Amino acid sequence: MFFSLSLAALTVAAIVSASTAQQPFGSQLPIASNAFETYDNGLFSPLEDLNLLSTDSFTTLTHPVFPKHSVRIKKSSDFCDGTVNAYTGYIDIQARHLFFYFFESRSNPETDDVIFWTNGGPGCSSGLGLFMELGPCRIDTANATKFNPYSWNDNANVFFVDQPIGVGFSYADYGETVSTTEEAAKDVAVFVAMFFEHFNKFKGNAFHMAGESYGGRYIPVFASEVYDQNAVLIQNGLTPINLTSVMIGNGCTDDGTMYSAYYEMQCSPASVHPINTIANCVDMRRKVPRCEKMFKESCRDSTDSIACNIALSFCNDAIFNPFMETGYNPYDISKPCEGDISDTLCYPITKNISRYLDRPEVRETLGVDPSIGAYQSCSSDVGARFDINLDGVFPTQFYIAALLERDISVLIYVGASDWICNWLGNDRMSLGLEWYGKEAFNAQELSEWQFNGTAAGLTRSAGPLTFATIYDAGHMVPYDKPEASLEMVKRWLAGESL
């Protein structure tokens, strides 16, 4: 959901040919030499039917190809959306345990697509996306949920995953941590493979990986790992994942395109009337070129962490701090921040989500591990570890271009009123992608897309790449414009243009 660098400043149907694929994991993914034989001899039996799961205790799922991984899963009867089956559990990677929610489609679960969703941060729980944005229910008070008619599980099966460890209800033993997106991606990819192997009714369904904010970093890397892992699955006689697309909402993917956009979004009518003072805007205008130069030289052209942190500090002082003086919501500059951003993230509803998920009966239904303390929407410790590794400054647009080159469809959608991962920076990032369709994509002018007879936003599309804005929406599009966001997703899953 939220982008860590800002918080610091503000306080994967393409299949790799088995004959040409490389070993993407090498020694990183242990695969027994007799893994296919073990599978073929029937020593692995998929659970297949989710209805066999208990509502009172976990069922543990394993797979011989992934000896260090297992999945604990239970049925969470009537939780959140009484019209569909809901499941919760943990992805266990030895001492690391990632919590997830899974909701079947309200339409036809056996044939509908599957969506993987993660919030951003890094360090923010996907419970925010579930209970505040695109999930089958929303939390208004700390005591109950209410049905969300615009949930993305209207015609898709949807996962919400708390990752990496230390986020939401995820945890680790013996002090283990995850500090980079690439490291987190390996665990996510194995979980995806294990899920489809066990639950055959979803096998072969189109699979989409989606997320927002720092998801602009997460999702391209996670999807690439799932794509590359298909070579391993094929080698071991398993069915590859039908990775069809990625959907990135208000993503921060390339910092290099964001700094000037931060200036323009607060000092020009790119979205709303300028919100900062003329004096601050003139000062920023002078400093943005230096910020961009320092960032390129110290964070992109070299791996000097000290110099890069100096560059980031300069950019923060020049651009972020003046914005914070305005009192506006960095996730929606059409309105002021509600409450202390470190406490409410500018949205008081996050406090009710935390209180609801701290209720003992809710935790019992979900199967939350007893070791988990009070629920936190975002973990500053996880965010700090990623920041120390400068994870956020990696040019993740390279992953997006590589996915496009392999004909994985990419949807970049952005709420027009967001500041922190704004539409100007995302538009420039998409135009700068180096891929076979660049010329055709860049030749397209932004044009309005319609919903319910009115303009819903701007869009540009060519081949497998689509960029879109959503009017009157901020950082969390499904929260601000739930009906329009669902229509956008339905068109995307159906392969229709906006």
Distance CA 191, CA 90 (A): 10
Active site residue 475: yes
Secondary structure element (H or E) that encloses residue 72, with its range:
strand 69-75
Distance CA 221, CA 395 (A): 11
Active site residue 358: no
Both structure tokens of 335: 């309105």
The answer to whether the Cα torsion of 432, 436, 438, 439 is positive or negative is positive
The residue from 126, 213, 224, 485 that is catalytic is 213
* Residue 143 CB burial class (10 angstroms; 0-12, 13-18, ≥19): exposed
Residue 114: C-alpha distances to residues 128, 328, 446 (Å): 19, 36, 30
| Dihedral angle computed from the Cα positions of residues 197, 370, 353 and 94, in that order, rounded to the nearest 10 degrees | -40
* Residue 455 CB burial class (10 angstroms; 0-12, 13-18, ≥19): exposed
The residue from 112, 379, 475, 485 that is catalytic is 475
What amino acid occupies position 184?
A
Active site residue 213: yes
Q: Kindly report the CA angle at 144 between 375 and 154, in degrees rounded to 5?
A: 95
The residue from 418, 430, 461, 485 that is catalytic is 418
**Helix ranges restricted to H, 268-348:** 278-295, 305-315, 321-324, 341-344
Query: Catalytic residue positions?
Result: 213, 418, 475
